[in-house]
Structure 1
Amino acid sequence: MTDFKMTRRKALGMALATAGAMMTSPAWAEVDFSGKTIEWIIPFSAGGGSDTWARFNAPLLSKYLPGQPTVVVVNEPGGGSTKGANLFAVRAKPDGLTLLGTSGSTQFPYLLGDPRVKYEYKDWKIAMAAPTGGVVYTSPSTGVEAVADLAKLKGQKLTYASQGATSLDLVPLLGFKLMGLDVQHVFGFKGRGDGRLAFERGETNIDYQTSSAYIKNVQPLVEAGQAVPLFSWGVLDEAGTIVRDPNFPDIPSFPEAYEMLTGMAPEGDDYDAFVAFFIAGFPAQKMAVLPKGTPDDIVAAFNAAFETMKQDPEYLANKQAVLGSYEQVTGGKAEGLFEMGTTISTQNRKNVVDMLGAHYGVKLGE
């Protein structure tokens, strides 16, 4: 059993144990934030996805935390999110008055051992995790007309619009490589929306979009015969296994697509490395964490507030537009995602870093 598979099993056990503890412990009821202001640090500029996510959740968190404190979002951009995370690690006190919102862009440098990272995820306490998903699609110009034609991509020259080798586009980079597809990654695109436009212009012939963007912007292309869905990245089941995304039940998951291409299920160190970054970028893409040393009763209060707010009419009315079809998670499930999304073996990290340096000229920290 590889280190990462052991971690997934450990994380599942932790999730179940934590869930049980939360169900039996009322200690959070003694926490009171009356008259306090809580700063929710977002290590990105205003207006982006993480900022939008935090500003959607902040007033609801305020409503359901004990004492109804004011929750304000504070943007600390820089260093691809490492600046704000570093500041949080140094300055935040364990009194519940400072919360950090992370994303895959915060997790990836940590997993890669980027020297800019001065924070240690294992010191922090998870309060909530927000998953998402994504779908890979191709152009019918490749000769692919349906998922069953996936093997036709083997041997073809494919082009993908990427935001960068260490961005969230590291997941498709590792996935395509694992599948043995010949994909040229063109770096420098500012976002997945720009990547989709390049696809529509015929500049690229393979792309992926997060689930909400796929439904809104790519599904019409599919219906018009201008795009062909190949596979989703998938979601994690309760055992930590990647399965079909319930939002796309007719589209195979990445492991299914891999097996369609190779005739065998994915396994080995390269697959474990892919899974580590997949979890950090999708099932555990955004996380709200509290600083080192935060007492358990304060952590429980945040968990309870995030869980309770999910029944609020305002939340229910607006969550689809902000979160898509994925539900934010707390408690044991969040603990499991936190553990899996911030763990990679030393050897797998080295393999990925060496590959990025050798094939893409990536020097971490520059």
Structure 2
Amino acid sequence: MTQFTFTRRVVLGMVAAAGLSAPAAAEVDFSGKTIEWVIPFSETGGSAKWANFFGPLLSEELPGNPTVVVKFMPGAGSTKGANWFQREEHKDGTLLFGTSGSTQFPYLLGDPRVRYEYKDWIPVMASGTGGVAYLNAEDGANFDGTANALKDTNFIFGSQGATRLDIVPLLAWKMLGMNVEPVFGIKGRGDGRLMFERGEANIDYQTSSGYLGGSTALVEAGTAVPMMTWGALDEDGNIVRDPTFPDIATFKEVCEATDGCETSGEAWDAWKAFFVAGFPSQKIAFLPAGTPQDVVDTYVAAFEAIRSLPEFKQIASQQVGDYPMFVGTGASKAAREATTVSEGAKAYVINWLADDYGVTLK
């Protein structure tokens, strides 16, 4: 289990102008303690960048300014780490766990490897994200805003697994009529990007933090061409352009421009349902069941203080994207939305996974 350690000095340069607030709660003191923030993916992906961004800020805002250590526990598309967290019993507030859509989706689909129950955990912070799909330079030259010229190309994609967050891109590409063969088993989206960089894959997608942290350099170097984002939701639940990438068309736009792709019907409803479950409230920080309320309140206050930093929005947009951050009751609501999907959408995806990949969830 690899790790990355944050101390107070790490963040000072980044938020020097922000005017950091006072400690969150006087009743709880983490002086001299170490907070372990466990991420069930490899250190190369978007969840790692998310925790690495919030870690030093959390250290500053928790009373006593504890050291925050981000630990990585990849395996089985994140179910290994989630199953481990389900068994843990920490009551002193020194254990935090971070999930993403790739942890939520196996839970939603009834994956038999799931031994965890989201309702047992205590959400204290959640944040949305987006995603960007991109092509290599050769195939990107044939992309004209539609997938029409890409339908005869054989694509290879590094995937964490059929029941993970990769459902969103894989179903999108299928709806566009593209031939994308996933290579299942990578431990994080960052490993998919490395496959792309080595030429072992010719199509990839990253969540916003991973794209900002690694894939934009490929685009700037001319070795990657952005294809589309998954978009974002407006107040009425409509898909609109991702605020972090306003110049890149959404999947909805590309679908509408591509022959045979429909933005209505069973496939679209299923895709949108899993997009909503996987991205607007994608990354969630949990304390384990049994954590005392005063400790929970202290974490909520600390994350609220982070959200209130004058420079937070600017800093966050550069590191993890321009998306809402939910705290306390907002995080609880976001967690419920991220772990709920209609039976119709679930049935469609289960049938699709069985038909296309031979994956049965029994």
TM-score for the superposition, normalised by structure 2: 0.73
Whole-angstrom distance in 1 between the partners of 2:153 and 2:74: 37
What letter is aligned with 2:234? D
CA-CA distance at 1:85 after TM superposition: 2.3
CA-CA distance at 1:235 after TM superposition: 1.9
**Equivalent residue for 1:32?**
27
1:89 to 81, 86, 90: 86
Aligned 8 A contact 1:58 1:73 in 2: yes
Moved more, 85-94 or 245-254: 85-94
Aligned 8 A contact 1:198 1:204 in 2: yes
Q: SS of 2:326's equivalent?
A: coil
Question: How far does the alpha carbon of each residue in 1:57-101 deviate from its partner, in whole angstroms, 9 at most, with x for none?
Answer: 344324323565565555555443323323433433566454322
Whole-angstrom distance in 2 between the partners of 1:301 and 1:234: 34
Q: Say if 1:222 and 1:79 are closer, same or farther in 2 by CA, change over 3 A.
A: closer
1:353 to 343, 350, 354: 350
Aligned 8 A contact 2:28 2:63 in 1: yes
Q: Say if 1:284 and 1:77 are closer, same or farther in 2 by CA, change over 3 A.
A: same
Whole-angstrom distance in 2 between the partners of 1:225 and 1:92: 48
Aligned 8 A contact 1:233 1:254 in 2: yes
Q: How many residue pairs end up in the alignment?
A: 337
2:163 to 166, 179, 186: 166
Aligned 8 A contact 2:121 2:288 in 1: yes
Would you say 1:63 and 2:60 are equivalent positions? yes
- Higher RCO, 1 vs 2 (CA within 8 Å, ≥6 residues apart): 1
5 Å-filtered alignment, 1:276-295, equals: 276-292=273-289
**Equivalent residue for 1:117?**
114
Q: Say if 1:79 and 1:212 are closer, same or farther in 2 by CA, change over 3 A.
A: closer
Q: Say if 1:45 and 1:251 are closer, same or farther in 2 by CA, change over 3 A.
A: closer
The root-mean-square deviation of aligned C-alpha atoms, in Å, is 3.9
Q: Say if 1:318 and 1:250 are closer, same or farther in 2 by CA, change over 3 A.
A: closer
The 4+ residue runs of structure 1 with deviation greater than 6 A are 28-31, 313-318
Q: Say if 1:267 and 1:303 are closer, same or farther in 2 by CA, change over 3 A.
A: farther
Aligned 8 A contact 2:91 2:291 in 1: yes
Whole-angstrom distance in 2 between the partners of 1:56 and 1:109: 26
Q: Say if 1:273 and 1:216 are closer, same or farther in 2 by CA, change over 3 A.
A: same
Q: Say if 1:38 and 1:117 are closer, same or farther in 2 by CA, change over 3 A.
A: farther
Moved more, 331-340 or 166-175: 331-340
Whole-angstrom distance in 1 between the partners of 2:34 and 2:219: 45
**Equivalent residue for 1:342?**
339
Whole-angstrom distance in 2 between the partners of 1:268 and 1:57: 39
Aligned 8 A contact 2:43 2:72 in 1: no
5 Å-filtered alignment, 1:108-147, equals: 108-139=105-136, 141-142=138-139, 145=142, 147=144
Q: Say if 1:295 and 1:270 are closer, same or farther in 2 by CA, change over 3 A.
A: farther
**Equivalent residue for 1:178?**
175
Q: Say if 1:263 and 1:101 are closer, same or farther in 2 by CA, change over 3 A.
A: same
Whole-angstrom distance in 2 between the partners of 1:230 and 1:60: 33
Question: How far does the alpha carbon of each residue in 1:181-215 deviate from its partner, in whole angstroms, 9 at most, with x for none?
Answer: 33333445565455456556766543323335545
Question: How far does the alpha carbon of each residue in 1:238-291 deviate from its partner, in whole angstroms, 9 at most, with x for none?
Answer: 344332112221222122222222588623443333234334443333210133
Moved more, 240-249 or 95-104: 95-104
Q: Unmatched 5+ residue regions in structure 2?
A: 1-22
Q: SS of 1:277's equivalent?
A: helix
Q: Say if 1:282 and 1:45 are closer, same or farther in 2 by CA, change over 3 A.
A: closer
**Equivalent residue for 2:148?**
151
Whole-angstrom distance in 2 between the partners of 1:201 and 1:160: 12
Moved more, 165-174 or 203-212: 203-212
Whole-angstrom distance in 1 between the partners of 2:200 and 2:41: 29
CA-CA distance at 1:33 after TM superposition: 1.5
More helix by share: 1
**Equivalent residue for 1:24?**
none
Whole-angstrom distance in 2 between the partners of 1:313 and 1:199: 37
Aligned 8 A contact 1:94 1:290 in 2: no
Q: Say if 1:205 and 1:264 are closer, same or farther in 2 by CA, change over 3 A.
A: closer
Aligned 8 A contact 1:41 1:99 in 2: yes
Aligned-pair identity in percent equals 49
Whole-angstrom distance in 1 between the partners of 2:217 and 2:50: 26
Aligned 8 A contact 2:102 2:164 in 1: yes
Q: SS of 1:99's equivalent?
A: strand
**Equivalent residue for 1:16?**
none
Would you say 1:233 and 2:248 are equivalent positions? no
CA-CA distance at 1:126 after TM superposition: 1.9
Whole-angstrom distance in 2 between the partners of 1:292 and 1:55: 24
Would you say 1:308 and 2:305 are equivalent positions? yes
Moved more, 99-108 or 219-228: 219-228
Aligned 8 A contact 1:276 1:344 in 2: yes
Whole-angstrom distance in 1 between the partners of 2:349 and 2:77: 19
Whole-angstrom distance in 1 between the partners of 2:87 and 2:197: 45
Q: SS of 2:86's equivalent?
A: helix
